[in-house]
A and B are shown apart, each in its own frame.
Chain A
Amino acid sequence: MVKGMTQDPFEAVVATHHAEIHRYLVRTTSRAGDADDLSQETFVRAYRAYQALPPDANVRAWLFAIATNLCRNYFRSEKRRRQAMAVAAANASERGPVWPEGEAIANQVGARLDRIVAALPLKQRLAFTLRKVHELEYEAIAESLQCSAESARAHVFQALKKIRRELHDLAVVHAEPQS
Chain B
Amino acid sequence: MTDANPTCREIERDLVAMAAGEAAPVAARVVERHVLRCRECRDELERYRVLEGMVTDLRREPVPGADPALSRAELESRLADIRARMVGYGIFSSPLGKILIARSELGISLVEYLESERAGTSYLARLAGGEVREDRAGVEMVYRELLEYLDRRRTRLDWPLDLRWAGSDFQRRVLAATAELPYGAVTSYAGIARRIGTPSAVRAVAQALRRNPVPIVIPCHRVIGNGGDLVGYAGNKISLKRTLLSVEGVPVAARARRIERDHMYVRAGADREYCVPTCGSLSRQSLAGLTLFGSRDHAESVGLTPCTSCRPDLHPVSV
Interface residues of A (CB under 8 A from B): 1-5, 8, 10, 14, 18-19, 22-23, 26-27, 32, 35-36, 39-40, 43-44, 47-48, 51-52, 106-107, 109-111, 113-114, 132-133, 135, 157, 160-161, 163-164, 167, 170-175, 177-179
Contacts and interface: CB of A to CB of B under 8 A. Distances in A.
Interface of B: 12-13, 16-17, 20, 36, 39, 42-43, 46-48, 50-51, 54-55, 57-59, 61, 63-68, 70-72, 74-76, 78-79, 82-83, 103, 105, 107-108, 133-135, 138, 141-142, 158-160
Given A2-B141, A110-B58, 18 more contacts: A1-B158, A2-B108, A8-B83, A23-B63, A23-B66, A35-B66, A43-B75, A51-B135, A52-B133, A109-B57, A110-B57, A114-B58, A114-B64, A133-B58, A135-B59, A160-B51, A167-B51, A177-B36
B58 A157 contact: no
Contacts of B39: 177
A43 B63 contact: no
Contact of A172 (B36, B47, B160): B47
**Main SS class of interface, A:** helix
Contacts of A44: 75, 78-79, 82
29 contacts: A2-B142, A5-B138, A14-B75, A18-B71, A19-B68, A19-B72, A22-B71, A26-B65, A32-B66, A32-B67, A35-B71, A36-B74, A44-B79, A51-B133, A51-B134, A106-B57, A113-B55, A113-B58, A114-B58, A114-B64, A133-B58, A135-B59, A160-B20, A161-B16, A164-B47, A164-B51, A167-B51, A177-B42, A178-B36
A170 B47 contact: yes
A47 B79 contact: yes
Nearest to A8: B83
Contacts of A14: 72, 75-76, 79
A133 B75 contact: no
A26 B42 CA distance: 35
Contact of B50 (A27, A47, A171): A171
B14 to A, nearest CB: 10
Contacts of B79: 10, 14, 43-44, 47
A59 to B, nearest CB: 16
Nearest to B79: A47
Contacts of A18: 68, 71-72, 75
Contacts of A174: 43
